[in-house]
Amino acid sequence: MSVDTAAPDDLTGTDDRIMRRGFGLLGRGIVAEKWWFTVSVVGSLLYGAMTVADAWVLGWATDHVIRPSFERGDVAEGALWTSVFLFIGVAVLRALGIVGRRLVGGLVYYRLIADYRRRVTRQYLSLPMSWHHRHPTGQLLSNANADVEATWAVFMPLPMALGVVAMLLTAIVAMVEADVVLTLVGLVVFPALFGINVFYQRWLSPKAARAQSLRGDVSAVAHESFDGATVVKSLGREADETERFRAATERLRDANIEVGRIRSVFDPLLEALPNLGILLVIVLGVGRVASGAAEPGDVVQVAYLFTVVAFPVRAIGWVLGELPRSVVSWDRVDSVLAATGSMQYGDRTLPGAGAVQLDLRDVTYTFPDADRPVLSHLDLHVGRGSVTAVVGSTGSGKSTLTSLLVRLVDPEQGRVELDGVDVRTLTHDDLAAAVALVPQSTFLFDDSVRENVTLGSEHVDDATVWDALRTVQAEDFVRALPDGLDTQLGERGTTLSGGQRQRLALARALVRRPRLLVMDDATSALDPDVERRILSELAARTSDGTGPTVLVVAYRKATIALADEVVFLQAGRIADRGPHHELVVRSAAYRDLVDAYDQAREAQ
């Protein structure tokens, strides 16, 4: 439905500003890769000069080899060998130039892309979750992929374009040297080629950019539609989805056709122009040669110049055409790179070992763009090694509370403390080692069972993994998988049942032996039986002092019953707290929530 349409409308207006910024972007890339870039430009200059030299050699050969030989009726041998060597020498040098230009030019381009991909993904890893929430997945993926590529795409034709500038200057010099009048043809045709190219690219690029962005829309629609395939099918919306996709596709088709029409006009025109130049040179050349002002070789040389220069000149057009697109893409990339508020971690480590004490002091949190806080002025104390249950109705802020503890978000006011230490002063590793969160929605990586549990930690051996799997009652089904721990789980773990996925997420937390374990409704898809066993095992660990402090979001009474204390959350505030048996008596709202099933059963 809503697709991220980063409309390239800003491309059409304020051309000069875009061009200026485009040149700034070129400068940035050149500075970043100055050495390789220099090599590629030198290669390109060599290529440009040798291209002109090629025509010059032909002219020289005409006047010094061909014509004398034909006129005298015998081969001008010395000059002939010279021209042979010149042709071959020029060709070899030009080949070297091409290798420099294309290979090293490509090197610059791919180095820039790789570099900026690394920068963008580093940002993804350091920017806070609140930033991630504000940006759709599809957009972030295309920032790191297509946008980075499009930003630097201009560097592909850039060395060639610079070489062409040199080529044109040399060509003019060569022409002046050959004949002044014929030079005038060059002075008309080259600027015309150049001008048409610029005009062409200026006209084309906003349309091409629009097509590019529509291509992004098509992809986004397809992605979302396939992602939600179960919903699409179970509600029988395939036809409507196809219509939605068709609409996006047809917009792309029309944009592509529009781009195609422009190309259809200009490509043949640009191909024809040099040929027209050649004709003009010949017509004028006839007069010049007749009047003795020019040699035939001069005419041949100038005519030949048009054939060799015509195609490369288009590189300038490509650069100017790419620039606006590069600028727009750069804006998107830059918005990631410039995003601030990266998660700052401290440098303290948490002293001691074993269970920690958790304190929330006057914590308030508001989602960005929300008009009221989801959590207000929370004060909470969870004693070392104790079990605390957080209970509250749907949307009361329980998940938000748990996300504060591992600093997925930071409170806008107040503090979260572990053993009296503000979590913001802890190093990231230490915080993650101390607190493990099992989130409400399970996320599995497209990787093996083992990697999903260990998350690459070398400290976790297979025995530990199996231990954890046993605790969460996942041992049997993992053993039954075709490759055991090495079984690949597929995207988001789709080859497992909901409960199986949840168990792996639990095992992931358990293998780390955290000092504070936070479970956000993490057992909802587990059978009550299994859940009870997991919790009692954890409880057993707690009571003999080796287990963690536990904060658990739950509705089930068995879970609640394991808790030393219950925190009852209502609309982001702690409405009441205390042992379950006290709360049931004291708070009607709590009773209605927790005892809903019993009340229902009694009412029957």
**How far is residue 279's CA from residue 381's CA, in Å, rounded to a whole number?**
91
Q: Does 149 bind another protein (CB under 8 A)?
A: yes
Report the residue number, 231 or 362, with the smaller CB distance to another protein: 231
Angle between helices 15-32 and 34-61 (to 10 degrees): 100
CB of 494 to ligand ATP, least distance (A): 5
Question: Binding to another protein by residue 192, rule CB under 8 A?
Answer: no
What the block records as the tokens of 117 is 């991909």
The verdict on 431 binding another protein (CB under 8 A) reads: yes
Question: Nearest distance from residue 323's CB to another protein, in Å?
Answer: 11
Q: Which residue is nearest to Mg ion (CB)?
A: 399
* Residue of 335, 339, 337, 328 lying closest to 25 (CA atoms): 328
> Nearer Cβ to ligand ATP, position 202 or 398?
398
The phi, psi pair for 199, rounded to 5°, reads -60, -45
Q: In the complex with another protein, which residue's Cβ is closer, 146 or 165?
A: 146
Q: What are phi and psi of 460, to 5 degrees?
A: -105, 110
Residue type (1 letter), 498? G
Q: Which residues, 395 to 414, sit near another protein by CB under 8 A?
A: 395, 399, 403, 406-408
Question: Which of 11, 46, 61, 390 is the binder for another protein (CB under 8 A)?
Answer: 61
Q: Pick from another protein, Mg ion, ligand ATP, none: which does 249 bind, CB < 5 to 8 A by kind?
A: another protein
Among 91, 367, 425, 564, binds ligand ATP (CB under 6 A): 367
Please, which of residues 497-556 interact with Mg ion by CB under 5 A? 497-498
User: Per CB under 5 A, which of residues 347..406 are in contact with Mg ion?
Assistant: 399
Note whether 566 and 577 are within 8 A (CB): yes
Residues 375-394 contacting ligand ATP, CB under 6 A: 392, 394
The residues with which 388 forms a beta bridge, in sequence order, are 551, 565
C-beta of 513 vs 556, nearer to Mg ion: 556
Q: State how far the Cα of 22 lies from the Cα of 20, in Å rounded to an integer.
A: 5
Contact, 357 vs 420, CB < 8 A? yes
Query: Is 440 among the residues that bind Mg ion (CB under 5 A)?
Result: yes
Residues in 87-146 at the binding interface with another protein, rule: CB under 8 A: 87-88, 90-92, 94-96, 98-99, 102-103, 106-107, 110-111, 113-114, 117-118, 121-122, 124-126, 129, 132-133, 136-138, 140-141, 144-146
User: How many Å apart are CA 130 and CA 582, to the nearest integer?
Assistant: 37
Q: Which residues pair with 479 in a beta bridge?
A: none
Nearest to 10 by CA among 248, 254, 325: 325
* 324 near ligand ATP, judged by CB under 6 A: no
Nearest to 47 by CA among 112, 111, 104: 104
Alpha helical stretches, state H, 455-556: 462-471, 475-480, 498-510, 528-543
Q: Which residues contact 2 (CB under 8 A, 6 or more apart)?
A: none
Sign of the C-alpha dihedral computed for residues 567, 570, 575 and 579 taken in this order: negative
Three-state DSSP string of 256-282: HHHHHHHHHHHHHHHHHHHHHHHHHHH
Name the DSSP class of 342. Answer: P
Nearer to Mg ion, 24 or 498 (CB): 498
**Cβ 563 to ligand ATP, closest distance in Å?**
17
Q: At its nearest, how many Å lie between ligand ATP and the CB of residue 572?
A: 7
SS3 at position 84: helix
Give residue 195's identity as a one-letter amino acid code: G
Tokens of 39: 């090599």
The site map against ligand ATP for 461-480 (x = CB under 6 A) is ----------------x---
599 scored as a contact of ligand ATP (CB under 6 A):
no
586 counts as binding another protein under rule CB under 8 A: no
Among 18, 496, 504, 522, binds ligand ATP (CB under 6 A): 496
Contact 11/55 with Cβ under 8 angstroms? no
In the complex, least distance from residue 346 CB atom to another protein, rounded to whole angstroms: 13
* 396 lies in the binding site for ligand ATP (CB under 6 A): yes
Would you give the distance in Å from CA 67 to the centre of its chain?
Answer: 62
Angle at CA of residue 543, ends 541 and 545, nearest 5°:
75
Q: Which of 268, 341, 354, 545 binds another protein (CB under 8 A)?
A: 268
Closest to another protein by CB, 340 vs 604, is 604
Residue 554 burial class via C-beta count within 10 angstroms: exposed 0-12, middle 13-18, buried 19 and up: buried
Residue 448 and residue 129: Cα distance in Å, rounded? 26
Residues 117-136 that bind ligand ATP (CB under 6 A): 133
Residue 432 engages ligand ATP in binding (rule: CB under 6 A) = no
Decide which of ligand ATP, another protein, Mg ion, none touches 7; Cβ closer than 5 to 8 Å per partner kind: none
The interface with another protein within residues 488-547 (CB under 8 A) comprises 490-491, 494-500, 503, 508, 512, 521, 524-530, 532, 536, 539-540, 542-543
Who contacts 168 (Cβ-Cβ below 8 Å, separation ≥6)?
190, 309, 313
- Whichever of 17 and 132 has its CB closer to another protein, that residue is 132
| Contacting ligand ATP within 437-456 (CB under 6 A) | 440
Q: Which is nearer to another protein, 54 or 359 (CB)?
A: 54
Nearest to 22 by CA among 142, 194, 158: 158
Q: How many residues does the chain have?
A: 604
Site size for ligand ATP, by CB under 6 A? Answer: 22
Residue 87 sits in the site that holds ligand ATP (CB under 6 A): no
Q: Considering the complex, what minimum distance in angstroms separates the CB of residue 4 from another protein?
A: 9
Candidates 69-77, 161-169, 179-187, 354-362: pick the segment binding another protein (CB under 8 A): 69-77
Rounded CA-CA distance 398/215 in Å is 40
Q: Give CA–CA dist 426/585, Å, rounded.
A: 40
Least Å from the CB of residue 437 to another protein: 5
Closest to Mg ion by CB, 354 or 498: 498
**Per-residue contact flags (x/-) with ligand ATP for residues 197 to 236, judged by CB under 6 A:** ----------------------------------------
Smallest distance, Å, CB 391 to ligand ATP? Answer: 10
- Rounded distance, CA 560 to CA 579, Å? 9
Tokens 């090599």 — which residue?
39
Q: Are strands 413-418 and 358-365 parallel, antiparallel or unpaired?
A: antiparallel
Using the rule CB under 8 A, is 75 a contact of another protein?
yes
Residues forming the site for ligand ATP (CB under 6 A): 133, 367, 370, 374, 392, 394-400, 440, 477, 494-500, 525
Residues forming the site for Mg ion (CB under 5 A): 399, 440, 497-498
